Every structure is written in structure tokens, then in C-alpha cells.
Amino acid sequence: MFINHDRYPDAYLKQILTEVRCIALVGASPRPERDSYACMQMLLEQGYEVIPVNPREAGKSILGQRCYASLADIEQPVDMVDIFRSSEAALGVTQEAIAIGASVVWMQLEIRNPQAAKMAEAAGIKVVMDRCPKLELQKSYWTGVPN
């Protein structure tokens, strides 16, 4: 299935946000003023399991969740990898997401890496670039919390 990464159908985004249960948030911050913190907080409030990933915070807790140094360190299956890193870093994170068997790679606002997207899609992984799941969950097409 070809996806135009410049314009996602609402149904595509809604399907992803309905199907995923466990989200690894790469680039999570313990600082409440950071966008990654607000996003993580909202995802937790919506019923998702969110695992923060940040090497500087590994072993500590962010919003009550144990933080890991890398995706490979997470001891359970992850459905979606939410990337709060640079566009350049997204390629390496995507390679890690493929290695752990994630089904979705989601790059945050202003993060685009076509090479990473192509690699993920070739591995059967859905990709979203330059979007925020927090903002998508707040849109009018969203009618409820995930299962």
C-alpha cells in the first residue's frame, strides 16, 4: 500500500492510534516544559502504555514509567516507536525499531526522513512523518479512546 507522506488519510492515522497499545517514546524528557513530556503525559492519560527512551535518563522514571537507554533494552514487545529526535537521528532509530519488531514508526512534528520511511515500509512497518499523535488524538475525527 502506497502512502503519501505529505498527506495522510484520517483513517490511516486513526487505525494506527486505535491498534497500537505500547508506545516507545524515543527522546523522552523528564522536563514538563518539553513537548515530549506533554505528549507522553497525554498518551498515558488516553490509556496507552508508554515506555520512555533516553540514554541520559535510563534507569530513572519519567511520569512514573521506567526509562530505558535504547529500544533494544526494552524487555517487552513495542507496537509503535514515537521519535522525538532529529530527522537525521530518525534513520538509526528506525533501524532499531525494525530490529525490535515494531509495527509503526512515528516521526514527530518537523521530523522527516524519507530514507528511514522507505526502509521501514520495506520491512512491513507503517510510517508517519511530521505529525504528533497527541495532536491527532485531539482532532475532530477521533471519537474515543483506544481499546
What is the model's pLDDT at position 64? 98
From CA 64, how far away is CA 95, in angstroms rounded?
Answer: 27
Q: What is the CATH number of domain 10-137?
A: 3.40.50.720
Does pLDDT of 104 surpass 60?
yes
What is the model's pLDDT at position 100? 98
Could you tell me the residue ranges of all domains in the chain?
10-137
Tens of pLDDT, residues 37-96: 999 999 999 999 999 999 999 999 999 999 999 999 999 999 999 999 999 999 999 999
Does pLDDT of 145 surpass 70?
no
Single pTM value for the model: 0.93
Task: From 54, 50, 112, 38, select the one nearest 81 (Cα to Cα).
Answer: 50
Task: From 71, 56, 64, select the one nearest 25 (Cα to Cα).
Answer: 71
